[in-house]
Chains A and B, each alone.
Chain A
Amino acid sequence: MSFDLDLIVQALPELLQSVLVTIELFVLLMLIATPISLLVALARVSSMLGLRCAAACYVNGIRCIPVLVILYFTFYGLPQLGLRIAPFTAALTGLTIGTVAYLAEDLRAGLTAIDPGQFQAADALGLGYWWRTRRIIVPQALPVMIGPYFTRAIVSLKATSMASIVAVNEVTGESMALLTQTYRALEFLTFAAITYLTLSAVLAFAQVILQRKVALP
């Protein structure tokens, strides 16, 4: 028995469909998790004690629970509470909850890298909190944040494979389904691996471009 490319060609419509599901899951995940993570990171460095504590509890609580367990919670647990949601939504929710905890820590590192003199100058000029954050702090934190951010994005991309366990037919799920139908593992697993490799490469490339864009003059 050897590697049979024909198998992949025959299953291409389903496989490509599953790639789209992976991309959709990943893009939605990052679109939702990024702003929330930034808010959690800002809360982590806030001057308000209550906000700081709440954010620290969230981050430290969630990152000590396996993302897989969180996914089981949203998939099996929520319906038990009477919340009927589609597998895709359950997976997206679980992944978001997990990703935010990690991403917030990555972004916080960028925020704490800023010279305290910048805050003082902004305060002395009477700039408000959100103005200061939007115009001064975040733009300066971006160059520091961008590396860890894309590393986290790549980790999250691969984490979307866990959605297969809660009945979402993304690349891993579809490959496994085809594997059990055909008893051919190598072909479909190779396809799945190449898909993640390609998507990760796109992210790494995007990082290089963005890094140049947000670099401080």
Chain B
Amino acid sequence: MKATLWVTRYDARPCREDIASRTGMTMIELAALSEHGAHESAVVNVAPLLRIKKLVKRYGPKTVLHGVDLDIPAGRVVALIGASGSGKSTLLRCVNYLEVPEPGSEIWLDGELIGQDARSTPPRLLQGAALRRQRSQIGMVFQHFNLFPNLTALENITEAPLAHRRATKAEARMQAQALLDQVGLHDKAASYPSQLSGGQQQRVAIARALAMKPRLMLFDEVTSALDPELVDEVLKVMLQLAQDGMTMVVVTHEMAFAAEVADRVVYMDQGRIIEDGPPGSILRNPRHPRTQAFLKRMLRTG
């Protein structure tokens, strides 16, 4: 049986018609704004799906994130670029509290404070079930896949829905099979990670992250550990996901991918965002000298 019931569009971007009706702008004006890189949702002041406020992270005496602010509206794909050590991976890991940021930092997902109890002052760190529920709304894909080697591809995907009691075993398996179909691995359900290529493993990892129907997907250099010929199959899955309307934050060195898929490119340097805009302008006409130097290096090597 071909299961199709789970493969659907994700959180829709605020559609242009909707914004036009709310702002009284004409569709043509909106389209023009959009082409100039303005964000439609900013125009109508829709709260972003992900809001990062004053994010600070230190490791001992070393500050790796210096009060980063970043808003990402629903349905957007943001590429996070920068040299290694610039803090982009740490930023990603702070979003789902794999790394606990310093007090005063705030991560908001759709109006909900992540990792902290907003009712207490000062906010207490969330633990246990409350944090687990929040994390389940944020899918994460890692550079080294981190699939569970003792479980099959299908079991890797069903694990979270079963742990969260979101589905019966049969439902979870059906959904997992549909997700495997979606990432082009319909015949790999019974394979163990060690029997799959890197590209296949990473696609299973994406399916695993999607199984909880997350609001937001975080990608941490997901193609960096892959052989060059396996990169495309993973990027294709991500492109499809972006087209389906998933909100994504993608830490990447794939400039071509950033140019093609991202709505926005954010350049980080030494724990700060120093450039942020549509891919066309950042990648082709970077203003900041550091961005220029970085892109020049990337073009030479990659």
A residues touching B (Cβ–Cβ < 8 Å)?
Answer: 115, 117-118, 120-128, 131, 135-136, 139-140, 216-217
Contact = CB atoms under 8 A, between A and B. Distances in A.
Given A118-B146, A216-B149, A125 B135 contact: yes
A58 to B, nearest CB: 26
Contacts of A127: 132, 159-160, 163
Given A140-B149, A140-B150, A124 B163 contact: no
A131 B159 CA distance: 9
A217 B192 contact: yes
Given A140-B150, A216-B150, A120 B159 contact: no
Nearest to B160: A125
B164 interface: yes
Contacts of B128: 128
A120 B142 CA distance: 9
Interface string B89-108: 00000001010000000000
A9 B149 CA distance: 53
Interface residues of B, number: 31
Contact of A131 (B131, B136, B163, B195): B163
A118 B164 CA distance: 18
B194 A217 contact: yes
B160 A126 contact: yes
A140 B192 CA distance: 13
B294 interface: no
Residue among B132, B136, B144 having the largest count of chain A Cβ atoms under 10 Å: B132
Contact of A126 (B144, B151, B163, B208): B163
Contacts of B131: 126
A28 to B, nearest CB: 30
Interface string B56-71: 0000000000000000
Contacts of A216: 149-150, 192, 194
A211 to B, nearest CB: 15
Given A124-B98, A127-B163, A216-B194, A118 B135 contact: no
A131 B151 CA distance: 14
Contact of A123 (B133, B135, B208): B135
Nearest to B96: A124
B129 interface: yes
| Nearest 7 Cβ contacts at the A-B interface | A126-B132, A121-B146, A217-B192, A126-B136, A117-B146, A126-B135, A124-B140
B56 to A, nearest CB: 21
Interface in B133-147: 133-136, 138-140, 142, 144, 146-147
A126 B131 CA distance: 7
A128 B132 contact: yes
B233 to A, nearest CB: 21
Given A131-B163, A139-B150, A216-B149, A125 B208 contact: yes
A136 B150 contact: yes
A217 B195 contact: yes
B195 to A, nearest CB: 7
Nearest to A120: B98
B212 interface: yes
A135 B147 CA distance: 13
23 contacts: A115-B146, A118-B146, A118-B148, A120-B98, A120-B146, A121-B148, A123-B98, A124-B96, A124-B209, A125-B208, A125-B209, A126-B134, A126-B160, A126-B163, A128-B129, A128-B132, A131-B163, A135-B151, A136-B151, A140-B148, A140-B149, A217-B192, A217-B194
B149 A217 contact: yes
B135 A117 contact: no
**Residue of A121, A123, A125 ringed by the most chain B CB atoms within 10 A:** A125
Nearest to A138: B150
Nearest to B195: A217
A217 B160 CA distance: 21
A122 B136 CA distance: 10
B150 A125 contact: no
A126 B164 contact: yes
Contacts of B133: 126
Contacts of A217: 149-150, 192, 194-195
Contacts of B212: 125-126
A136 B159 CA distance: 10
A135 B151 CA distance: 9
Contact of B148 (A123, A124, A128, A136): A136
Nearest to A136: B148
Contacts of A123: 98, 135
Nearest to A130: B163
A217 B194 CA distance: 7
B113 to A, nearest CB: 17
